[in-house]
Structure formats: structure tokens, C-alpha cells
Amino acid sequence: MSQINAIGLDSEETQNVIESLNRLLSCYQIQYMNARGFHWNIKGRDFFELHVKFEEIYNLLLEKVDEIAERILTLGGEPLHAFSDFIELSQINEVKNVSDGGQAVQSLVDGYSTLIKMQRKVLSDAGDNQDEGTAALMSDYIKEQEKLVWMLKAYLD
């Protein structure tokens, strides 16, 4: 017999969502650090444009890191907070020593593609658990990031 947690969700199903959110949190942390590094190290004729854009992106990512961690807490879990855990669980790789705008933008596109795919899975699992809070968060992220990927890809064309 399944148990119901304090916010009315199946405890076992919610634990699966928490684990998925922690994997997602790990990816967000790496994507954030990559964007931060691009902001610091970008060079070339698109410096001014990309420097500002990368700052905008890393600020958006940092906001989502906090929201995901707080959602994990809301669900009764514990968000990961050690960088070693992020490195171990992330499906996004660290990117080092990139100063080329095209390479940096492509890396962000690749990372966002991974995030979107993961968020669709979390959205589905949350929906199966009637976890509207998590589902709504993922839906909002997907919508925002699909547009961002389109814009970043347009820059590369």
C-alpha cells in the first residue's frame, strides 16, 4: 500500500521525481558554470554582444538552480550540494578554456538540448504522480528554453 506525503503525493513516486530533480540540478550546475566561464573568457569581434548574453544566461540558470533545489525540499527530499555529486550525475560535461563565440554558443545549445530532454521526462513522471507543482515548473522551463535554443541556433547560422 502506498503512502501519501505531507502535500498529498504518493511517497514512492515522489522519491523517483526527487531523484530525477537531483540529476537535473546537477546538469543545471554544470551548464551554469559553463555559461559563467564563457562570459569570463569570450574573445573576438562578438565579445560585447556575447559577454552580455552569457551573463543573462548564467543568471537565468542560477535562478533555476535555486528553484529546483527548493522544489526538491518541498517534495521532502534533500537537494545535492556537493560539486563532486554534480560532476558525477551530470549529463552535461564541463567545458574548459573556450573563448570562441561559436564554440561557446554550440556548447550552450547542446547543454540546453540535454536539459529539455530531461525536463520532459520529469514533466511526464510528475504528471503521472499528479505533482502539478513540479510539472508546471518543468513546463515553464521547457517553453523558455525551446525559444532560447532557437535563438542561439539562429546566431550560429
pLDDT digits (tens, 9 = 90+) for 56-83: 999 999 999 999 999 999 999 999 999 9
Q: How many CA atoms lie within 13 A of 83 on its CB side?
A: 6
Tell me what the mean pLDDT of segment 138-146 comes to.
98
Residue 4, domain member (yes or no): no
Any domain includes 6: no
Average pLDDT over residues 123-132: 96
Tell me the three state secondary structure of residue 7. coil
Does the residue 2 lie in any domain? no
Q: What pLDDT score was predicted for residue 80? A: 98
Distances (CA, A) of 141 to 44, 55, 64, 69, 80: 31, 18, 8, 15, 20
**Per-residue pLDDT, 65:** 98
Q: What is the mean pLDDT of the chain?
A: 97
- The boundaries of the domain holding residue 78 are 11-156
CATH number at residue 65: 1.20.1260.10
In the chain, the number of structural domains is: 1
Q: Does 59 fall in a domain?
A: yes
Question: What pLDDT, on the 0 to 100 scale, is given for residue 1?
Answer: 54
Residue carrying the nine cell digits 547543454: 111
Using CA atoms, how far apart are residues 133 and 122, in angstroms rounded to an integer? 12
For the chain, percent of residues with pLDDT exceeding 70? 99
48, burial (CB in 10 Å: exposed 0-12, middle 13-18, buried 19+): exposed
pLDDT confidence bin for 24, thresholds 50/70/90: very high
Q: pTM of the predicted model, to two decimals?
A: 0.96
